[in-house]
Structure 1
Amino acid sequence: MAKKIGIITLMLFGVYAVGMYFYIFHSGSGDIPEVLKGTVADPAVFMSPHELLLSEDFSRIRNFLFFVATPLEWLIYAFILLLGISRLFEKKATLRAKTTLFQTIIYVFWLSLLMYIVLWPLEYYKYYLSKDYGISTQTFPSWMRDGLVDLGVNYVMSIVVMSVIYGLMKKSEKKWWFYTWLLSIPFSIFVMFVQPIIIDPLYNDFYPLQNKELEAKILALADQAKIPSDHVYEVNMAEKTNALNAYVTGIGSNSRIVLWDTTLNRLTDKEILFIMAHEMGHYVEKHIYFGMAGYILLTFIGLWLTSKIMRWIITRYGQVLKIKKLGDIGSIPLFLLITSFLLFAASPLTNYFSRYQESRADQYAIKLTGDHAAAVSSFQKLTKAGLSEVNPPILVKWFRYTHPPMLERIYSVYKDSPNIEQEKKEERKKGK
């Protein structure tokens, strides 16, 4: 039975991978609408033919890897169960420890290590691809260090989460999901609060904005938006990437707006002020808190579905998967497989709301700065720096894009400012 399920699973994955390959590489979707060709939204206007070719190739490969990597993870979890590897890890853990906590610590260590080793070639290929296309500037030792930090952080988080969940499963097989959801609320808030000061600094150095002249302009903009002035930081990303970015992180007194130094080095002051105004829009409109509320709701639904699906699978296929009962730590791969699948299935919905918030932040930035030309040029430079796909295929947009595609972002600014070309010419004259 296990062999039959394994073969069927492999065949389904193969058919899925081939289907995604043809969709991404040969569907012909993602072309620029005729009405926008030759406008500021057309990448042919602001990117060279070589950059266009690199962007097209890089985007297709990256999209294909995205759609294959997550199901591949599910496949690995399935085979860890089918081949009895999970059962072996469980036996080792129960032989060496008596309490559930220490058994979980041992089990999660072996599972995390195995997943890291099995998936390392794929992660390395992503790193190599980014280096090859000129996006990443990170050295191999630095990349390895970040990967090991990821492994350590995820291991610690997994121990905490799995110890609580499986402890609750042993106490109540029917209501464990509800108690887990209740505990997930303060835990998620705590993680968001400490992330900027504990987790993020493990990867990069953060410090207050160094350019005092630019800082004065940003503080004036922040004062105009009624935002606390001590929440703007820069981070040293130039040693890792050529891409540009800025983001909002943390909650409460630990909330902050973060600018990559690549953004500071390669955008003009006006473009940076537009980017800052965009991030201020997230802050002013409380998007982090709305996101948290959505996360809490989806966690409730997801845990309830996970409990139902796990119970059904263990009842019907427990013997094949070497799982005796729900609370056995050997069922952790099944739990991770189901939750990963549900997160993937929910991503079109969560990405839709994220894109809505990003559009709102763009609108706020335009309202605050009134600078359409800076908005368009910053979007164009972001596209060039990251070799981004301005108009991705619909499935790519649904499952990957937390921000509106650049075609939409540039067009939304362009259509509201028909004299934008004149604005840009005037800016170039002033620059001279």
Structure 2
Amino acid sequence: MRKWIAAAGLAYVLYGLFFYWYFFMTGDSAVPEAVKGTKADPSSFMDPGRLAAAENYSNVKDFLFFIGAPLDWFLFFLLLITGLAKKIKQWLEAAVRFRVLQIVSFVFVISLIVTAASLPLEWIGYRVSLAYHISTQTTASWIRDHVIDFWISFPLFAVCVLVFYWLITKHTKKWWFYAWCLTVPFTLFLFFLQPVVIDPLYNDFYPLKDKELESKILSLADKADIPASHVYEVNMSEKTNALNAYVTGIGSNKRIVLWDTTLNKLKDQEILFIMGHEMGHYVMKHVYIGLAGYLLLSLVGFYIIDKLYRRMSKSFGRMLHIKGPEDLAALPLLLLLISVLSFASDPITNAVSRYQENAADRYGIELTGNREAAIETFQDLAVTGLSRVNPPFLVKIFRGSHPSIMERIEHAEEEK
């Protein structure tokens, strides 16, 4: 056991050292020669101090991201290899009579352990954002958001685990397919509820206050043939100086949301481009396409997880102190596999997202007929968010849900 723990710990340290070297010593975010002097060149819209701050801030945030995911894997491995998961299960079986309560209690303990282990990195990320004046959130508000996170994720997690153990007990070979079938209505239900139940727990949402701007947006929406009654603003200035807008929800709860920082810091023509971009998502039904893609990918994921989970439970059960796939102590193994596969699938989901974002950019430019507003918007996004215009390759594929700022400006300049 000590050898396995030492090997896993060494692997994690070497992994962290690689990414430290990659970001702080060799990460290539330099501007290509062909871009220098153009509107996509960050030196044309950011002063040297801002450029250095963007580079340093991005390096720290990206480094924290890449060492965060394997930390969960290492934690799940420790719970298994040390037999701690087995001991927690045995203690709960002695303390709690009913199987359902045993599972819920086990999930609660695992959730607390994972939350406690991830908090230090999240706290560092929060303090870094404060230091670079990206975050404006108070410590009390930050803690409140994390408490809300826990009490939203824990019940959902507990329900999923209860269903999993019921299915794998009743349908050992086909549990993964039945689980996926249940995922479809469950995911649709969450997408429907999120804008009206979950999101308001974190921030206040309300219709646009600026009636003159609202009139311009209504005119743009009419041109795009979309209902503008679903456009909202949210008080994100209490938490950040960054800019953003997004489309969320499905059905009657579908809405376009603008951060108030975006409304306060950008000119009307830039806001109209952003609205055109979000309307592009709406018109091209990207939310539904993304949802369908997620469900399809999850079907493949469930199948792979089933094969790996059952094989590893059988081959390494004794070493990991688990009796088989139905053993409650094997839950960390299941979570480990889900986390690894989710991380491995990020390049695929991000590639699809980048394609949709590029299409929405084109739509926004065509709808507004204002290419310059698009370019200015992308420049402002980089300046206020301290974003690198040309991040390193691994950041692009694992974190790049949008094209880089450089690519977005270049694409805007190419639009007719």
With normalisation by structure 2, the TM-score equals 0.98
> How many Å separate the matches in 2 of 1:412 and 1:95?
63
1:151 aligns to 2:150 (yes or no)? yes
The residue that corresponds to 1:103 in the other structure is 102
The residue that corresponds to 1:225 in the other structure is 224
The residue that corresponds to 2:87 in the other structure is 88
The residue that corresponds to 1:387 in the other structure is 386
The residue that corresponds to 1:186 in the other structure is 185
Query: What's the CA shift for 1:99?
Result: 3.5
Secondary structure, aligned partner of 2:352:
helix
Contact 2:46 2:383 in 1 (8 A): yes
> How many Å separate the matches in 2 of 1:86 and 1:210?
52
> How many Å separate the matches in 2 of 1:330 and 1:182?
25
The residue that corresponds to 2:132 in the other structure is 133
> Aligned residues, how many?
416
Q: Which 4+ stretches in 1 moved above 4 angstroms?
A: none
Secondary structure, aligned partner of 1:356:
helix
> How many Å separate the matches in 2 of 1:253 and 1:8?
52
Secondary structure, aligned partner of 1:354:
helix
Aligned partner of 1:402: which letter? S
Structure 1 residues 144-153 or 7-16, which shifts more? 7-16
Aligned partner of 2:335: which letter? L
The residue that corresponds to 1:257 in the other structure is 256
The residue that corresponds to 2:414 in the other structure is 415
Contact 2:205 2:232 in 1 (8 A): yes
Query: What's the CA shift for 1:28?
Result: 4.5
> How many Å separate the matches in 2 of 1:131 and 1:409?
27
Secondary structure, aligned partner of 2:236:
coil
| Aligned positions of 1:5-404 closer than 5 A | 5-404=4-403
> How many Å separate the matches in 1 of 2:290 and 2:99?
33
Contact 2:362 2:415 in 1 (8 A): no
> How many Å separate the matches in 2 of 1:124 and 1:14?
20
**Stretches of structure 2 lacking an aligned partner (at least 5 in a row):** none
Query: What's the CA shift for 1:89?
Result: 2.1
Once the two structures are superposed, what CA deviation does each residue of 1:6-63 show, in whole Å capped at 9, x if it has no partner? 1211121122111122122222412111111111111111011111010000111111
Query: What's the CA shift for 1:102?
Result: 1.5
Aligned partner of 2:78: which letter? F
The residue that corresponds to 1:420 in the other structure is none
Aligned partner of 1:17: which letter? G
> How many Å separate the matches in 2 of 1:292 and 1:164?
22
Secondary structure, aligned partner of 2:228:
coil
Aligned partner of 1:226: which letter? D
> How many Å separate the matches in 2 of 1:342 and 1:55?
31
Query: What's the CA shift for 1:92?
Result: 2.9
> How many Å separate the matches in 1 of 2:199 and 2:256?
13
Contact 1:383 1:389 in 2 (8 A): yes
> How many Å separate the matches in 2 of 1:247 and 1:6?
43
**Stretches of structure 1 lacking an aligned partner (at least 5 in a row):** 418-432
The residue that corresponds to 1:422 in the other structure is none
RMSD over aligned CA atoms reads: 1.1
> How many Å separate the matches in 1 of 2:382 and 2:265?
13
Query: What's the CA shift for 1:100?
Result: 3.3
> How many Å separate the matches in 2 of 1:162 and 1:40?
51
Secondary structure, aligned partner of 2:350:
helix
> How many Å separate the matches in 1 of 2:99 and 2:37?
64
Query: What's the CA shift for 1:349?
Result: 0.8
CA pair 243-140 structure 1, distance change in 2 beyond 3 A:
same
Contact 2:203 2:235 in 1 (8 A): yes
Once the two structures are superposed, what CA deviation does each residue of 1:172-223 show, in whole Å capped at 9, x if it has no partner? 2211111100000000000000000111111001111111111111111111
Query: What's the CA shift for 1:67?
Result: 0.9
Contact 1:391 1:405 in 2 (8 A): yes
> How many Å separate the matches in 1 of 2:313 and 2:20?
33
> How many Å separate the matches in 2 of 1:363 and 1:36?
20
Query: What's the CA shift for 1:93?
Result: 2.7
Once the two structures are superposed, what CA deviation does each residue of 1:70-110 show, in whole Å capped at 9, x if it has no partner? 01111011111112221122123322334432122111111
Query: What's the CA shift for 1:4?
Result: 2.0
Structure 1 residues 8-17 or 372-381, which shifts more? 8-17
> How many Å separate the matches in 2 of 1:191 and 1:95?
35
> How many Å separate the matches in 1 of 2:300 and 2:178?
13
CA pair 5-28 structure 1, distance change in 2 beyond 3 A:
closer
With normalisation by structure 1, the TM-score equals 0.94
Contact 1:100 1:167 in 2 (8 A): no
> How many Å separate the matches in 1 of 2:94 and 2:153?
24
> How many Å separate the matches in 2 of 1:308 and 1:283?
38
